[in-house]
Amino acid sequence: MSQTFQSRIYVTLRPSVLDPAGTAVESGLKQLGYQGVGGVRIGKYIELTLSAENEERAREQLDLICDRFLANPVIENYRFELTPISSPASVE
Amino acid sequence: MSQTFQSRIYVTLRPSVLDPAGTAVESGLKQLGYQGVGGVRIGKYIELTLSAENEERAREQLDLICDRFLANPVIENYRFELTPISSPASVE
């Protein structure tokens, strides 16, 4: 019996890593007249569904997926949120 | 007197728009053996600080910034969260 989870993953550059894309957006915004903007950092936002026996197993799997595939652990951090979509007992 | 806000912006492709990057990640994950993964959608996650007179003005400005600069309204949706960092009364 498996359960399905909706997951939202946020991959961001480590604070110590320069963010050229963020810097470019920041200077572009200032040129457009938005003076009050600062600290622009750009990352990835990934949504996916995941089936697993339970939430703990889903967390383990998602950790592996993020660590090996979605984020570069040398320069990026990741965090995620998991929301159950279907409960195990909902088998028709 | 202005206030500073931390904002988190999520730019995602509209549901009707194909997501080749998401599809590629999904098939890659399946080839790596993660069968339970589906519905992969990849978007942008942007953090920035914004100074404005009050929260309402900050929301208006961020809407303009997202609409004109950070998201392509034809194919993308955006949403954002605003958190006050400094209160107006905190002037030393």
Tell me which residue in B37, B48, B50 faces A48 most closely, judged by beta carbons: B37
Q: How confident is the model at residue A86 (pLDDT cuts 50, 70, 90)?
A: confident
- Are A1 and A88 spatial neighbours (Cβ–Cβ below 8 Å)? yes
Tell me which residue in A32, A41, A51 faces B47 most closely, judged by beta carbons: A41
Question: pLDDT at position A58, please?
Answer: 96
Q: What is A3-86's CATH number?
A: 3.30.1280.10
CB–CB of A48 and B38 under 8 A? yes
Which chain B residues have a beta carbon less than 8 Å from that of A76? none
For residue B62, give the nearest of B90, B86, B85, B83 by alpha carbon.
B83
- Are B82 and B7 spatial neighbours (Cβ–Cβ below 8 Å)? yes
Which stretches within B1-92 are classed as H helix? 20-31, 55-65
Which chain A residues have a beta carbon less than 8 Å from that of B52? 36
Name the minimum distance, in Å, from the CA of A57 to any CA of chain B: 12
Q: Counting one residue from A and one from B, how many pairs have CB atoms under 8 Å apart? A: 94
Across chain B, mean pLDDT equals: 92
The residues with which A18 forms a beta bridge, in sequence order, are: none
Is the pLDDT assigned to residue B91 strictly greater than 60?
no
Over the stretch A42-79, which tens digit does the pLDDT of each residue have?
A: 999 999 999 999 999 999 999 999 999 999 999 999 99
Phi, psi at residue A90, to the nearest 5°?
-90, 35
Over the stretch B51-79, which tens digit does the pLDDT of each residue have?
A: 999 999 999 999 999 999 999 999 999 99
Closest chain B residue to A37, measured at CA:
B50
Structure-token pair, residue A28: 């572009």
Give the Cα separation of B14 and B1 in Å (integer).
Answer: 38
Please report, for chain B, the start and end positions of each structural domain, with discontinuous segments joined by +.
3-86
Q: How confident is the model at residue B88 (pLDDT cuts 50, 70, 90)?
A: low
**ipTM of this model?**
0.87
Left, alpha or beta for B66 (phi > 0: left; psi -120 to 50: alpha)?
alpha
